[in-house]
Structure 1
């Protein structure tokens, strides 16, 4: 067979229509019903052998033709329930046999199944336990560890059902699975601890396990019973039997069971959230049909076990995180204390950094610097690995089998079979890479995991043959380290978050320093350049008088040069004015453009803007102005003053506090007041509130200290004055004055 043909065969197996087999297992009967009239749309062919009715004669007939009036009424009542779980049970006697009816609705069709009902099911109990649900749950809740929980679960299910073997099978990240608990009869081959290849449970089968809690095969040595008609009459498509108890299973799976030495099986899904975590797998050498009520109890165990697994794993992860809190605190402080890059701080605590995730070595990259501690690959190997990690685009990356995803790692797997790495979104290369060495161990597989899949002839040609050997196969695992735990991954994420916060704080500090340096530069320019430029302009004017543009050739050239100098000086003055505009307050030359303004209108605008901030903090904000007040002010700059003062008052006033803004006439000026009931300003600080860069750092860590300084400059530019009064614990008041509008401009 060509390789391409074999790949196509694998694809065909993966696409096997296990949801739409068009057939059921022969121990029961399946019907589909139309609603609301409950007429039979499809029926399994074995209705003739089990119920003594010809399938063709039933199609299109009312359900009571088969069941009679009373059972049909029960079905109608069940179909009307919001949830079939709350519906009453349905038991019928047909053709001398006792059957239980199971109803579900899927993809717009009502599916009714009948399977044999046993009044007294006697499992092959080996320990005398009953199937009492309450006692069973008590035994589950008594487990103190996950492993104890697994052991109790398999023991309970085996005792209730009588299966020869009950095991718990956990899926690994790589796709294969491991048996982690087992309860088996003495005659059964033990699988506990063995690994099974991922190919034993194809992906589409796993998806079916994910959506359906329980599957049962009473006898794998059966002939499938077809549905009549084969396709749904309403859609022309096969019937989806995903949630049908009687669904016929893949013949490959049936052969797999026989090869394993069992004829009956039951599987219960174990879920973690919406993901398939594992399975409870039951097997029996002889055919065994577990009744529905007992299956429901087993399903309950699976659901309880799923919740317990999730809860206990969450507690374990929480414990792992708590164990790392102190180390993370030390590393965060080191990054915070570092005068340069945050990763330089980590480089001062290499042992703490390695112990954080139990690594054998760690590398720290910051630009051209590369620090290595413990057992690490060579620098050029680390640089190449770091480049590959950046290309993955994952902020935190972890692998315990690095060479499987990054082949060059095979050259240094002795020291770095496992890697966990994190980096920050910065233009310079940066990252922390933890390494774990290779841990060689023998893994026991059930059968050779590397043995190629076998083929066999079938009615439709060649098909895959399930493996026949389950003997223990020992494989030495190379290039693999101990796994990174969820706690390790959380630690890397927590450390990255702290690094981001520290790095951002540094960026803010650098920007503040840049602003301060700019302000100082502007002051220097103002003082040192403005006067020389004025002198240059004056000298150019004097020289211009000495040389006429109507004079000699030399005189004209000199005059033209002086014009050029004056134009250049003019352009430099314009540039200088733009630059100095940011420091006009420092120079006492802040320009405003006053116009007549109505105070009540200004207050209305200020209230509409600032009231939401006060409301959010639960502060009472009120404005009060004498009627008809008119002022002469720059509207934009005055609004800036009010916004700054009121905003500060809201910021420093506790919840349920009071802020009052007022305006009243005083001779030729208007006095504005902003009073709050906040914490107040200390007496030694009060004289400095209008100084440049003054701020209450303990209560306003993000303040720049320029707000009140600029506010003072604006008020002075209007010809007014501003002052502050305050008493600790009783609040503060800021008062400023603005000239009245000329009388002729009053409305």
Structure 2
């Protein structure tokens, strides 16, 4: 045997994948193929065996109407069959040509009609009874294995093939025989695997597109189609949908090496994906009639539907069981006293059953609980660091049935952890749930050595040749666990989502509790502080009066100290008031006592109370308002907003400056603005001025940093908005809106 080097193998596989199997330029000899152009049904190409089958030479038929070959009656049958958009329902046609009956198959592809003709013969028995029995048995099958067994047995009875197998494509690419029916002439391959290269990608695609492919005799001599190229396009004729298409010589050699002369393959699809094949084989030439092939196609189609239905049923049952476990575990997480994952650790059996794992580890900060068959604690903690990195990168789960291929260090404990399914929660502390799958110590039975499934040819081209040995070859499987199912991954993902939701709910509850405790503390502290503050202010006033009567040298110094104490106490009272307001606003418990207010009177009152401060700094204060405007607002709270905005403007406007207080109406909103010509606010700071404690962060020790935050909250509580515009060196303008009263 000429074994290929890895480089030769790659080159040979690439050559095989590029083989133009859709355009072989020839057909198998058990029928005739011709192409027709519409609407005249003119023959453009025809297989060269037309002379043998019909007594007409190729030259006599090319560029002639179809009637030249078939006669008018058959042409009319073809025309009627071509009327529907879908031609599948019209096939097969029974056409009489030259006194002989033929089965005709029509297909339309790439702008041309292909008509394939095969001799028709009377069936030796009525196969309808066998078909009906097959369909009844298939519908009654309770399990997938029963369904497979019924299918291969009934197809063998229908067709007479010696061996009928179901060949399922595995995720790794190779195929495995999962059911077979034998007549005794050919060997069986039940349970054996065949390399992916036995059926290259372009061949799999044709199987996906066509339900059936027939080779009555693998030793046939191909019949060329003439002319070689299509006369209308100058391209090779695409026979991808042809029943008679000539197959790859490599495949014919492959069949011959297996001792097979005749074969038939039926595709099994799962939602338009090639799931597997029903392969039929016979040691002698065997041509199955067109009606029987149609029956076999019906069985394959029903089997495809049943496979999907039973797989969906089994998956649904598995998901329902897992859903019950998820509910139990989610409830346990919700009731856990400390961390959500504590609830999982308290239900070890449900946690294992959820994914069918052999072991599971639950990590919560410095606590690690191992359940079932797991690596050691030290190994799991080291593995967790890698798992966390992988999960954070993917954002969800880590799933593998071959852990050591991703994390080589794990090979030292592959007996208990060849498979891994894990998640971590987006928390700043260490946490994870890691399921382990034990190593499956098993073997794969191959039909021949998979490393020698392709050999080099004897010619100089080293063209790919199929292997000649199909004897059982066992390969030991190590470092692999049972593959996690889609339902396993779904269950783990749902559990993770439940844990995240419960963890977030716990955080919200903790935050609400913290807010409640903080509000209670603020209320208690403010209440307990206000009385002493009031006493201090009263005592300072009394002492000021006593000091004012003293003309001694210490009186001035004492008076200044008392004034400082009064000012500091007043600031503290203002801070306590701001903190109370903030607490109520954050809790959504800020009371408003609204009543109709005349805007002009409101502004005049505000200006009247602050005019003394503006006069002291020589600031010009202007107040303008359109007459007749009214709003429904809390006068005390709105006056608090105006006092704060005007107070800030006075504070930051230089001596001799100007402040404008204006009010006007826009649609259903009353707009009130406070404009100054002070130093302005830097553009970097402007977006943050309404944040809590902003002025404190900006180094203003005389303010609490809550004034503008409270002002905006009060305005929003009235259904309005507050915003600011400013230009350094020019000044600032603060504007707020309040809904106008409707008459």
Seen in structure 2, the aligned counterparts of structure 1 residues 631 and 473 have a Cα distance that, compared at 3 Å, is same
Q: Deviations over 1:674-719 (max 9, x none)?
A: xxxxxxxxxxxxxxxxxxxxxxxxxxxxxxxxxxxxxxxx9xx99x
Residue equivalent to 1:449: 450
Residue number in structure 1 paired with 2:465: 465
CA gap 1:590/1:93 in 2 versus in 1, 3 angstroms: closer
Give 1:239 deviation, angstroms.
Answer: 3.0
Match of 2:350 among 345, 348, 352: 352
TM-score (norm 1): 0.71
Note if contact 1:50-1:95 (Cα within 8 Å) is conserved in structure 2.
Answer: no
Q: 1:383 to 1:632 in 2, by over 3 A?
A: closer
- Deviation string for 1:278-320 (max 9, x for gaps)? 2111011111111221111101111111222222223323333
Cα deviation per residue 1:22-68 (whole Å; 9 max; x = unaligned)?
A: 33222222222222232223333333433333434534332222222
- 1:126-275 aligned at under 5 Å gives the runs 131-275=129-273
Contact 2:388 2:424 in 1 (8 A): no
Change (3 A) 1:357 1:581: closer
1:147/1:555 CA distance change after superposition, 3 Å = same
Question: Aligned partners of 2:338, 2:151: CA distance in 1, in Å?
Answer: 56
Query: Separation in 2 of the partners of 1:357 and 1:341?
Result: 22
CA contact (8 A) 2:387 2:398 kept: no
Q: How many residues align?
A: 600
**How many angstroms does 1:590 deviate by?**
3.8
1:593-612 pair list within 5 angstroms = 594-595=596-597
Give the Cα separation in 1 of the matches to 2:224 and 2:533. Answer: 102
Aligned residue number for residue 280 of structure 1: 278
The separation in 2 between residues aligned to 1:308 and 1:36, in whole angstroms, is 41
Contact 1:270 1:276 in 2 (8 A): yes
Asked if structure 1 preserves the Cα contact closer than 8 Å seen for 2:399 and 2:422, the reply is: yes
- Does the CA contact (< 8 Å) of 2:93 and 2:105 recur in 1? yes
Give how far 1:157 is off: 0.5
Which is further off, 487-496 or 372-381? 487-496
Out of 319, 335, 342, the residue aligned to residue 337 of structure 1 is 335
Contact 2:425 2:496 in 1 (8 A): yes
Contact 2:390–2:398, Cα closer than 8 Å, also in 1: yes
Find the aligned partners of 1:306 and 1:746 in 2 and give their Cα distance: 71
Q: Give the superposition deviation at 1:6.
A: 4.2
The answer to whether the 8 A contact 1:157-1:298 is kept is: yes
Partners of 2:417 and 2:436 within 8 A in 1: yes
Q: What is the CA-CA distance between 1:635 and the residue it aligns to?
A: 10
CA distance in 1 between counterparts of 2:9 and 2:538 reads 95
* Structure 1 position 16 matched with structure 2 position 13: no
Instruction: Give the aligned partner of residue 297 of structure 1.
Output: 295
Which structure 1 residue ranges, 5 or more long, are not aligned? 123-127, 598-629, 638-713, 719-744
Q: Take 2:537 and 2:69, find their aligned partners in 1: how far apart are those partners?
A: 114
Q: Deviation at 1:458?
A: 5.9
| C-alpha separation in 2, matches of 1:577 and 1:166 | 87
Select between 386-395 and 405-414 the one with higher mean Cα deviation. Answer: 386-395
Give the 3-state SS of the residue equivalent to 1:241 in structure 2: coil
- The answer to whether the 8 A contact 1:25-1:223 is kept is yes
Q: Which moves more between the two structures, 366-375 or 153-162?
A: 366-375
The CA deviation at 1:385 is 4.4
- The reply to whether residue 519 of structure 1 matches residue 522 of structure 2 is no
Q: Is the 8 A contact 2:260 2:282 kept in 1?
A: yes
Rounded Cα–Cα distance in structure 1 between residues aligned with 2:154 and 2:191: 20
Q: Write the distance in 1 (CA, Å) between the matches of 2:302 and 2:742.
A: 81
Structure 2, gaps ≥5 residues long: 600-628, 637-713, 719-740
Does the aligned pair in 2 maintain the 1:522–1:580 contact within 8 Å? no
CA contact under 8 A between 1:364 and 1:430: conserved in structure 2? yes
SS at match of 1:75: helix
Of 194-203 and 183-192, the range deviating more from structure 2: 194-203
- Give the alignment partner of residue 29 of structure 1, picking from 20, 27, 32: 32
Give the 3-state SS of the residue equivalent to 1:342 in structure 2.
coil
Question: What residue number does 1:634 align with?
Answer: 633
**Aligned match of 1:116:** 119
Distance in 2, Cα, partners of 1:512 & 1:448: 67
> CA separation in 1, counterparts of 2:458 and 2:540?
107
- How many Å separate the matches in 2 of 1:144 and 1:586? 61
Give distance in 2, aligned partners of 1:18 and 1:484: 37
Change (3 A) 1:536 1:109: farther
- Correspondent of 1:87 among 77, 85, 90: 90
1:242-273, Cα deviation, whole Å (9 max, x unpaired): 22111222211111111111111111112222
Give the deviation of 1:390 after TM superposition: 1.4
The corresponding residue for 1:501 is 501
Is the 2:419–2:437 Cα contact (8 Å) retained in structure 1? yes
Question: How far did 1:471 drift?
Answer: 0.3
- 1:443-470 Cα offsets, whole Å, 9 max, x none, are 32211123363111569x3321111110
Matches for 1:601-680 after TM superposition, within 5 Å: 633-634=632-633
Q: 1:569 to 1:39 in 2, by over 3 A?
A: farther
SS of the aligned residue for 1:30 comes to: strand
For the pair shown, the structure with the greater C-alpha radius of gyration is 2
Larger CA deviation: 395-404 vs 277-286: 395-404
Matched residue, 1:99 = 102
Given that 1:129 and 1:159 are in contact with CA atoms closer than 8 Å, whether structure 2 keeps it comes out as no
1:130 and 1:160 in contact (8 A); partners too = no
Say if 2:219 and 2:261, in contact at 8 Å, map to a contact too: yes
User: Aligned partners of 1:111, 1:389: CA distance in 2, in Å?
Assistant: 54
Whole-Å separation in 1 of the counterparts to 2:573 and 2:454: 84
Contact 2:325/2:354 (<8 A) preserved: yes
Give, in whole Å, the separation in 2 of the partners of 1:237 and 1:329. 62
In 2, Cα distance between equivalents of 1:145 and 1:22: 44
**1:361 maps to what in 2?**
359
TM-score, normalised relative to structure 2:
0.71
Find the counterpart in structure 1 of residue 440 from structure 2: 439
Change (3 A) 1:563 1:282: same
> Are 2:266 and 2:277, in contact at CA under 8 Å, matched by a contact in 1?
yes
| Residues 1:536 and 1:138: Cα distance change in structure 2 (over 3 Å) | same
Match of 2:608 in 1: none
Contact 2:448 2:471 in 1 (8 A): yes
2:296 is the alignment partner of 1:319: no
CA distance in 2, matches of 1:45, 1:561: 122
